[in-house]
Amino acid sequence: MTASDKAFTGSIPQIYDQLLVPLIFTPYAQDLAARITRHQPREVLETAAGTGVVTRALHAQLPPEARITATDLNEPMLMQARTHLADADRIRFQQADALALPFADASFDVLTCQFGVMFFPDRIKGYAEARRVLRPGGRFVFNVWDRIEDNEFAHVVHETLQQIFPDNPPQFFTRAPHGYFDPVKIRADLSEAGFSDIIIETLPHRSRAASAQEPAIAYCQGTPMRGEIESRGAPDLATVTQAAADALRQRFGSGPVVGQIQALVISAR
Ligand SMILES: C[S@@+](CC[C@H](N)C(=O)[O-])C[C@H]1O[C@@H](n2cnc3c(N)ncnc32)[C@H](O)[C@@H]1O
């Protein structure tokens, strides 16, 4: 993990929200919200909420008396989230590091985190903090991406970047979003932080876009990979994005594209 891996800032939040969220995050947000709703929580905490795709799914699925606190390390991501949910009184947005939550012990019935724990510099500390703010018997419901080979668009973009920068290949995808998927390790980390009743499921989906250009822009410009590409100087971001689009087109066709995505969904008490 490097400092730039958590830099969801600048123009990233908007591109992330417009292209990456519909591409890969929406079906998993619907899934997490459905799982959480079954626990009938009164108070839900979301960490690493990003631009609020899970927050919106929770708002749509939870009964009106349930309250949602949506937090993220990066205020620019929350600013983008607020644009979708400006009138939702029961949602509180608050900047917070998931490793040092500004909430009292035993404050929430459910804590959720969609595709966020991979970015935690110390996951056991993050899990212990989740446990601290959960009420006795409370649930931690979260997900992580499976290995990059099971996430086809990301894999093609990653391989393309390895070829463009052979001397200094960008490793953001395999270091951060696709760097924490071993169920044995996840189970051990949760147990060490005090969680039990751990259930881990594999959940595949199909990812769709109107053309290869969309996943290329989404992955190269709407994630911290953008900073890794820009820091190398040449070729520039537009040229690299075009090369990724060409590789995706070659593999998935010149019209609408469809690829496999896969995640692990985890629930612990
Ligand atoms: C891949 S995004 C997921 C965002 C959102 N949950 C979604 O499904 O679209 C990862 C998020 O983790 C946030 N993040 C990274 N490190 C964090 C930390 N220590 N505490 C809280 N959020 C963090 C980033 O700002 C980013 O919004």
Query: What pTM was estimated for this model as a whole?
Result: 0.97
Q: Ligand 1: which atom is nearest the Cα of residue 25?
A: 8
pLDDT value of position 87: 87
Contacts of 16 (CB under 8 A, 6+ apart): 8, 50, 51, 77, 80, 218, 222, 223
pLDDT digits (tens, 9 = 90+) for 22-35: 999 999 999 999 99
Please state the φ and ψ torsions of residue 60, each to the nearest 5 degrees.
Answer: -75, -30
Residue nearest to atom 4 of ligand 1 (CA): 50
Tell me, in angstroms, the distance from the centre of ligand 1 to residue 29's CA.
14
Here the tokens at position 200 are 């881990």
Q: Enumerate domains of the chain plus CATH numbers.
A: 3-268 (3.40.50.150)
Tell me, in angstroms, the distance from the centre of ligand 1 to residue 259's CA.
23
Q: Which residues of the chain have pLDDT under 70?
A: none
Tell me, in angstroms, the distance from the centre of ligand 1 to residue 116's CA.
5
Q: Give the torsion sign (CA, 57, 62, 63, 68).
A: negative
